[in-house]
């Protein structure tokens, strides 16, 4: 066995400068510069430096001299759980920082930052979906989110970001998992709340089915918790343990089935705000002929577009398109499976639409936007959860002849570093 050199651990102090886009502060100290979470500009910070033979890690420890912009965190797990990095910032500073993420991206890509509208922030207790992890270490269950920049699961007892029904579900979920998992087993848990109904999905690493005894236990817990549905999944196999009510959501006139594995905007308030922007844009644009929803999912925005005319929807997920097609049987909506990364809709096809709504994943839609930039579609509404890829794709649209009319920052990822953006483009 090789002898390993033990790390050298020291306690250091430094001063925090600006925050980077990930919410980490730039720290200057006599022993060298670093980046740390949970700090604010101007603060004097105590941190731990751990020196290994080939690397050095630094960890936030305490605030020696706090900023006037600092406030007490709402959650007792803050600085342990990696779900939030900005609970310590007062509202004014917080809004300015979130908006600055978009401003900096605009400046980097040569876009006009004066087009950015005032930010809208979703309040606490409004996140309706989340993915948790759980593991058994000996007889102790750990359930929650990861520690920041770590695979360690922080044992979560509360989460003020989640809707109240999901917060109420946590102790029951803990009981279920404590009785379900064997030592050293790991599970992924997908939680969803719609209109007060709680929907739970569980996956266990390396397990393709669970025993009848454990299913009976899970059913009892779900019944006590008044959950609407509880499922176990292994790849494409679904085992329905309990269902008392159908889980659906309304997208415009469409009632679409949902489950905790499906994509859905993180907050119903944010979804409503985005739909308001779409509605205002279409009302101001005049009569529509044919509308297009790219990366449609199960129809989050297709339903709203139906109020203005015929709609085509494209999405790479087969199940999403099947459910959307079924929900839209009586409506002028045509939904089709298409991988828009590998085979983007070509310019010639895009030319027949009066409005295009596009809502890609965090990576953006570089190939699709290149085709869109060359089209003659009069209106494009681009929805993004990544300021950098939004600005990159917005620049491509502008280079193709589109004019960015407005950009709307919507913070539905409360206290995290992410930001939703809705851009309205005209040609």
Give 99's DSSP letter. H
Count H helices, E strands: the chain?
Answer: 9, 21
385 is catalytic: yes
Per the CB < 8 A criterion, the answer to whether 294 and 300 are in contact is no
**Tokens 């309706």, located at residue:** 128
Separation of alpha carbons 392 and 10, rounded Å: 42
CA 213 to chain centre: 35
Per the CB < 8 A criterion, the answer to whether 26 and 35 are in contact is yes
Separation of alpha carbons 152 and 200, rounded Å: 23
Per the CB < 8 A criterion, the answer to whether 310 and 335 are in contact is no
185's tokens? 């087993």
| DSSP E strand stretches across 331-414 | 333-337, 355-358, 379-384, 403-411
Separation of alpha carbons 367 and 371, rounded Å: 7
Per the CB < 8 A criterion, the answer to whether 128 and 267 are in contact is yes
List, by residue number, the catalytic residues: 385
């Amino acid at each position: 066995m090789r002898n390993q050199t033990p790390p050298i651990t020291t306690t250091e102090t430094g001063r925090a400068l600006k925050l980077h886009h990930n919410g980490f502060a730039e720290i200057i100290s006599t022993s060298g510069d670093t980046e740390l979470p949970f700090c604010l500009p101007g603060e004097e910070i105590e941190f731990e430096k751990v020196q290994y033979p080939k690397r050095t890690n630094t960890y936030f420890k305490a605030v020696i001299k706090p900023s006037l912009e600092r406030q007490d965190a709402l959650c007792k797990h803050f600085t342990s759980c990696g779900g939030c990095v900005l609970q310590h910032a007062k509202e004014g500073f917080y809004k300015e920082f979130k908006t600055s993420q978009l401003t900096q991206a605009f400046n980097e890509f040569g876009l006009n930052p004066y087009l950015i509208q005032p930010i809208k922030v979703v309040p606490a207790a409004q996140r309706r979906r989340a993915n948790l992890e759980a593991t058994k270490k000996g007889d102790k269950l750990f359930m929650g989110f990861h520690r920041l920049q770590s695979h360690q699961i922080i044992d979560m007892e509360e989460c003020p970001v989640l809707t109240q029904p999901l917060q109420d579900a946590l102790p029951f979920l803990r009981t279920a998992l404590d009785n379900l998992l064997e030592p050293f087993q790991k599970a992924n848990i997908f939680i969803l709340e719609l209109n007060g109904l709680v929907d739970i999905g569980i996956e266990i690493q390396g397990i393709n089915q669970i025993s009848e005894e454990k299913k009976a236990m899970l059913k009892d817990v779900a019944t006590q918790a008044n959950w609407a549905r509880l499922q176990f999944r292994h790849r494409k196999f679904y085992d329905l343990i309990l269902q008392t009510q159908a889980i659906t959501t309304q997208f415009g006139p469409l009632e679409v089935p949902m489950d905790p594995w499906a994509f859905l905007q993180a907050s119903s308030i944010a979804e409503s705000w985005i739909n308001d922007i779409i509605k205002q844009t279409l009302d101001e644009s005049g009569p529509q002929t044919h509308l297009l929803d790219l990366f449609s999912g199960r129809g989050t925005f297709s339903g709203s577009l139906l109020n203005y005319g015929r709609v085509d929807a494209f999405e790479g997920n087969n199940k999403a398109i099947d459910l959307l097609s079924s929900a839209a049987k009586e409506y002028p909506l045509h939904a089709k499976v298409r991988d828009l990364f590998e085979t983007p809709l070509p310019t010639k096809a895009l030319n027949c639409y009066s409005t295009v709504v596009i809502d890609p994943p965090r990576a953006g839609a570089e190939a699709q936007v290149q085709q869109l930039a060359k089209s003659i579609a009069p209106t494009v509404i681009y929805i993004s959860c990544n300021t950098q890829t939004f600005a990159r794709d917005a620049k491509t649209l502008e280079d193709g002849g589109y004019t960015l009319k407005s950009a709307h920052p919507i913070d539905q990822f409360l206290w995290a570093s992410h930001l939703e953006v809705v851009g309205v483009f005209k040609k």
